[in-house]
Structure 1
Amino acid sequence: MSPATSGAWFVRVVLPRLVRGALAAAVLCLPVVVLAVLVTRHWSPIVDADQRAVLAATNVTRERGFLPALEAWQWWLHPMRVYIAAVPIALWTWHRRLRGRTIWGVATMLVGWNLGLQAKLVVERARPLIDDPVAHAPGYSFPSGHAFNVAMMLTTSLIMLWPLVRERALALRALLVAGAAVIAVLTALDRVFLGVHYPSDVTAGVLLGCGLSVASFIGFSHRPRATKEPA
């Protein structure tokens, strides 16, 4: 393929997909941007509610002895292990000849992992300050990396699997979606009850992970309208 042909192909096929995906991301991730602005400006309704929620959650963790279970969940749902868990899914979809979708999914998860880290550096929100903390975590707080990466992996994996799953019973599809939602919610609660994230952090993580994954697929699945050859 000559440079001229490659350039024309990029403009005709790739560029419309990138633009469509970027526009979708701007819309879907707008709530996260709004949350980020509010927490960086220390908007008192959110800041106060966050602090009260973390204090109440950590008190429950101490009183009920939840710490071992919460730490175990934190260990298993570490981003590295979360993405390793997606490998069998990618291998299966590749084996079932969904190769374009598999490549999209793997690329989306790898790029998304990095974007989640960059979002923390942009916002630079400090971790919750608690007089008697039950756990510690390094780095910044917004958005929650665990919540983000779990949401990103689960959403992307569901999209990868959907052409295979939609051929099955409706109950199986509902079970997969419900299971993914439960895992995402439990991960978000885990971070708050450990006192290492505010509720707004985990909310932003889930919204950002789901939003970026869906936006990426909107761009990937877009089929630019073919242009007619000049007579």
Structure 2
Amino acid sequence: MSTPAARTVDTTRHPSWRRRRLDPDHSLGLRLTLAATAAFLVLVPFALLALLVLGAWAPLHRLDTAITDALHGHAVDHPAWVTLMQVWSAVFAPMPLRVVALLVVIWLLRRQARRLALWVTTTMVVGGLMGPLLKLLVGRDRPELLDPVARAAGYSFPSGHALNATLAAGVLLLVFLPYVGSWAARVTLWVAALLLTVVTGLSRVALGVHFASDVLGGWLLGVAVVAATTAAFTSWRAHTGLRPVRPARDGVAPEVERHPDAT
């Protein structure tokens, strides 16, 4: 018969699943727990939106149609507006943004910031793969307009432009925040990241190739991916003894700016 002391020893020797998930000494479990929690909190509204799209919820369909019709009417009457939106949509399309991310990865590798380069790569690749997969799963058709000002192939939900703009903006913001010192510079960087994300998404609705809910879905999914990978990366930092950071203020690896070989 086991004694209470023996049972205590056994409990210590074999900690519960919950303890292992939250124990800093079990770094992988802790990183996965934080990443899953961060992703879950943002994926909840995305999942709800996807279910409404799949179920063809009438109020959402009416709202999408009203926004599309209003913006399409404005586009038909203003060719210069269409040209501006087409240029913006082309410059900040998924492929050019991926090229920019690749250049950032190469730059980080040259600075010996291998783990930070891996974070950038993981964020862009995971998000980039999830978008097309979800498009196939949802299978939503694009808006059908009598006099379209632009065309796009493939399914509609979520918007790939909105998703990749969110991923790229998050990556660039969190990598380069440590390089701006003043409050004004930080605000400028945040505004630039928000403009990249918001205007790129809105350009797709303005051109009539996406519904507003497609763009909202792309934004939510992009934020979820960035939140999950950032949680995993900051958890690794804590485990290796680096000082805690607030990513929204300090970036994900502020030590790289001062010591290139720190990560």
Q: Same fold (TM over 0.5)?
A: yes
Q: What count of residue pairs does the alignment treat as equivalent? A: 214
SS at match of 1:155: helix
Q: What whole-Å deviation, never above 9, does each CA across 1:159-207 have from its counterpart, x for those lacking one?
A: 2223333xx1111111011011112111111101110101111111112
**What TM-score do the two structures reach when normalised by structure 2?**
0.75
Once the 2 structures are TM-superposed, how far is the Cα of residue 38 of structure 1 from its aligned partner?
A: 0.9
Aligned residue in 1 for 2:86: 71
d(CA) in 1 for partners of 2:200, 2:175? 22
From 168, 189, 199, the equivalent of 1:176 is 189
1:147 aligns with 2:162: yes
Q: What whole-Å deviation, never above 9, does each CA across 1:50-104 have from its counterpart, x for those lacking one?
A: 0011011111111011222222222212211111122343344444554312211
Q: For residues 91-102 of structure 1, what are the structure 2 equivalents within 5 Å?
A: 91-102=106-117
Which residues of structure 1 form unaligned runs of 5+?
Answer: 1-10, 227-231
d(CA) in 1 for partners of 2:182, 2:153? 44
Aligned residue in 1 for 2:40: 26
Identity of aligned residues (%): 34
Does structure 2 retain, via aligned residues, the 8 Å contact 1:62–1:134? yes
1:189 aligns with 2:202: yes
d(CA) in 1 for partners of 2:132, 2:109? 28
Aligned residue in 1 for 2:120: 105
Does structure 1 retain, via aligned residues, the 8 Å contact 2:101–2:168? yes
Does structure 2 retain, via aligned residues, the 8 Å contact 1:135–1:195? yes
**Which structure has the greater CA radius of gyration?**
2
Q: For residues 1-231 of structure 1, what are the structure 2 equivalents within 5 Å?
A: 12-65=26-79, 66-165=81-180, 168-223=181-236
SS at match of 1:61: helix
Q: Which has the higher contact order (CA 8 A, sep 6+)?
A: 1
**Matching residue's letter, 2:92:** L
**What TM-score do the two structures reach when normalised by structure 1?**
0.85
Does structure 1 retain, via aligned residues, the 8 Å contact 2:43–2:224? yes
Does structure 1 retain, via aligned residues, the 8 Å contact 2:40–2:224? no
**Matching residue's letter, 1:138:** A
Q: What whole-Å deviation, never above 9, does each CA across 1:132-176 have from its counterpart, x for those lacking one?
A: 2221111111110001001011102212223333xx111111101
**Matching residue's letter, 2:70:** A
d(CA) in 1 for partners of 2:153, 2:88? 17
SS at match of 1:190: helix
Once the 2 structures are TM-superposed, how far is the Cα of residue 16 of structure 1 from its aligned partner?
A: 2.8
Does structure 2 retain, via aligned residues, the 8 Å contact 1:93–1:161? no
Which residues of structure 2 form unaligned runs of 5+?
Answer: 1-24, 241-263
